[in-house]
Amino acid sequence: MAITCNAQGKWSKIITVDQSGKKGSYVKIQDAIDAVPSNNVQHIFIRVEPGIYKEKIVVPEDKPFITLSGRNANTTVITWNDGGDIFKSPTVSVFASDFTGRYLTIQNTYGMTKKAVALRVTSEKAVFFACKITSYQDTLLDESGRHFYYNCFIEGGTDFIFGNAASLFKQCHLHSISQENGAITAQRRSSEEEKTGFYFVGCKITGVKSCTLGRPWGPYARVVFSQTYMSSAVLPQGWDDWGKPSIHRTAFYGEYKCYGPGARRTRRVEWSLSLSNHQASPYLTMSLMDGKTWVRA
């Protein structure tokens, strides 16, 4: 464990994990996280050397201010194989606030037969940069808190971004591997008063067959796609009401200046919205989650 100092106090400690045991203090990622003291107040950088780490990772609530970073998402892989329960199956679970994940692949290889979460984020504040998050059903449980995903690749077949956080996804690639009409999002906002939702800006949507943009896990589900490329995998109707016509009055499903063959709105469901510049402006920046006050460069 190295201790570093600079004028800004950017990193207080650096811990290196190396699967081979040659370069790091630890060979397992969980052991490095466990070494961070409870009620931590320092910025801890855990550097993960390239390798395939077959681990189930938990970042507990009492260990905030951790950055977990690989060098390249293609060469630094955290993988597990578990399914059936959205709370027990995640490969990586983040409960601590002020968490940052960078240059990592986080995957659940369980397959298509059961819910199998790759990443669960139940963190007051969390950021993910240039990560690959992959599974099939329920890939990313974006459960609660305020989160920022930048330049991430997120892949799944059904409800593969779901939960009730307030999250901004910027310049992310969403890839549907659904064989038939699987939803990308399942947002769970349950009341008009909640300040939650999923907001996608400058993203790209591709797919192997067909998909919808979202369906409502909660009656006041809120999802907005802005300036996003949509391939022909996105079905013309765009959105699915999950057999709950009552949500037509309460859900907020918006699109703003999207483009590509899947973005044509001529056959969209009538209860989705084509947003004006004024309507879309709150969903384009980190201000919707007060991100400027806590997202670190």
- Enumerate the active-site residues: 138, 159
Distance between start and end Cα atoms, the chain: 23
Q: How far is CA 23 from the centre of its chain?
A: 30
User: DSSP characters for 45-86?
Assistant: EEEE-SEEEE--EEE-TT--SEEEE-S-TTTEEEEE---S-T
Residue tagged 């307030």 (tokens)? 166
Rounded Cα–Cα distance for residues 91 and 88 (Å)? 9
Q: How far is CA 210 from the centre of its chain?
A: 21
| Residue 160: C-alpha distances to residues 135, 139, 193, 212 (Å) | 8, 5, 25, 11
Residue tagged 């390249």 (tokens)? 72
